Amino acid sequence: MSHDLKQGFQSLVSAKLATSIIGAATLPLVVRVLGPGKYGDYAFLMSTFSLLMLVVTPAVTEGVQKFVAEDRDRPDWRAHVFGFYLQLALVLAAVGSLALAAVTWAGVVEHYLGSRFTIFFYVLSTHVVFTQLKVLTRHTMLGLGLERYSEGFLVLLKVISRGVGLALAFVGFGVVGFLAADALAAVVFVAAGWLVLRGHISLSESLRTRPDVPVRELLSFNGLNVVTILLMMSLLHVDVMMVRLLEGDASAGYYKAALVIAGYVLLVSRSLQSLMLHSASRLWSQGRTDRIESLASRLTRYVFLVTALFAVGIFVLADRALPLYFGPAFTASVRPLAVLLPGVVGFALARPIYGINKGSGRLGPLVYALAATAVINVVANAALIPRYGLTGAAVATSLSYGLMFAFQSGCARYLGYSPLEDLRPLRLVATVAPTLAVLVVVEGAIVSDYLALAVVPPLGFALFVALALLTGALDRTEFDQAVRILPAPIHRHVPRIGVD
């Protein structure tokens, strides 16, 4: 990686790690304060809101990130790009907010979900505007290479949303308290973000003038980008919504818990997807397909190693960790989590490739690939949930996630590069399979839950790294380079074993 990529990756991963730790530390409190039923309602609301926002946010997020990163021979190019997307963002947010409020006022929400959901959706209608401005601000900072600020503010947002949400829920506001805390956190994020942006672009120029941008080019990208994000996000939320509608609120809570734990496997790949959008855009514009292939193939191998390590650890410890973490009732989440993990590894592999593919600006192949995956996901969930419940939902989602990797790899080849050239599949299998076998044996021999949780993770990490180096799945110099770009609190405690 270049110096800029390393710094950007460090910022993104550090923030993901911090927000994951905050989320992991506070999630048991959220579940216990709300209870399985209300937590299921909250999970359903967040999934529904995320899908509703797909008609509002995608037209501004990745578009502003891509175009504000480019150098063009136009005066105040970045200010005009930001001004264009700000105007578009406000119009779409106003329409979305009013539409959601109108649907709620007309009684649609009460008819299908019950009267208690009415107030939830009124609060969400105001949240539309705050969320829109938050994502616009963040993606503008990402495009300008200000990851250290944008991701640092995400950590602040997480602290506010969870801290204030827990306080409000504890004193009796329940789900509404968490929704209000999310809105407050978004407002703080926007205020802090604009203070940073004013030092890098002329906000007065953005607000005063009619943006001087190639409107047709930007809108063309935006239109297809809306479709790709809609399809991508359907993979993340349709299963939760279908479980809630077909199996009830408690089942949705149990299934959401499995998804939350499985989502920790995606920490690195989510960061890389965000980073590769604007970084790969520059490489595509320079015609450096060879550099893209080299970068993509190495990232695919690295992501597999990291996510497989996480997935093995979660699989081995799930039946002990989930009841301790969420409460005894969440034993029901263990089997769906185990079924989800193979697909989540595939999804993790797909995300950086997806970011690189999108950076090319040729979104047609991505639309077809994502549409096929999304249709399979809906059909499989509809077929399997009524018969097999949470396990059926996990099978459907895991299958769809795996297909995501296959289809995105196919798109990459169509665009002119291969993300699999340096995969080393046999060496990867020779690293993962023995680690899994040893950890299953060790975990089975330990009676105490807490002792297993203390022993298995460090043993698994040491064994996995040793096997990766021994088999050649990871070179020694690659290990040292990977260690250097980890967040400082981590890499200081990992010894360097390679040769500079």
CA–CA separation, 276 and 408 (whole Å): 14
Least confident of 25-29, 47-51, 368-372, 417-421: 47-51
CA–CA separation, 193 and 439 (whole Å): 45
Question: Under 8 Å CB-to-CB from 112, ≥6 apart: which residues?
Answer: none
Question: Under 8 Å CB-to-CB from 311, ≥6 apart: which residues?
Answer: 265, 341, 342, 344, 345
Q: Is the pLDDT of residue 467 over 90?
A: yes
For 99-119, letters b (16+ CB in 10 Å) and e give ebbeebeeeebeeebeeebbe
Q: Is the pLDDT of residue 341 over 90?
A: yes
How far, CA to CA in Å, does 459 sit from each of 156, 435, 486, 494? 33, 9, 20, 14
Task: Determine the pLDDT at residue 500.
Answer: 39
Q: Is the pLDDT of residue 301 over 80?
A: yes
Question: Under 8 Å CB-to-CB from 88, ≥6 apart: which residues?
Answer: 59, 60, 222
Mean pLDDT of 255-280: 80
Question: Under 8 Å CB-to-CB from 309, ≥6 apart: which residues?
Answer: 435, 460, 461, 464
The 10s digit of each residue's pLDDT in 307-334 is 999 999 999 998 888 888 887 888 888 8
> pLDDT: is 113 or 430 the higher one?
430
The 10s digit of each residue's pLDDT in 434-447 is 999 999 999 889 88
Task: Determine the pLDDT at residue 116.
Answer: 79
Task: Determine the pLDDT at residue 498.
Answer: 45
The 10s digit of each residue's pLDDT in 131-180 is 999 999 998 998 888 888 888 888 888 899 888 888 888 887 878 888 88
**Which of the four pLDDT bands, split at 50, 70 and 90, describes residue 499?**
very low
Task: Determine the pLDDT at residue 483.
Answer: 64
For all residues of the chain together, what is the average pLDDT?
Answer: 83
DSSP category for residue 74: S
Task: Determine the pLDDT at residue 45.
Answer: 81
> pLDDT: is 487 or 50 the higher one?
50
CB-side exposure of 264: number of CA atoms within 13 Å? 22
DSSP calls for 108-138: HHHHHH-TTHHHHHHHHHHHHHHHHHHHHHH
Tokens for 163, please give them.
């801290």
CA–CA separation, 385 and 364 (whole Å): 32
pTM surpassing 0.75? no
Least confident of 247-261, 267-281, 364-378, 400-414: 267-281
> pLDDT: is 21 or 406 the higher one?
406
Task: Determine the pLDDT at residue 380.
Answer: 93
CB 57 within 8 A of CB 131: yes
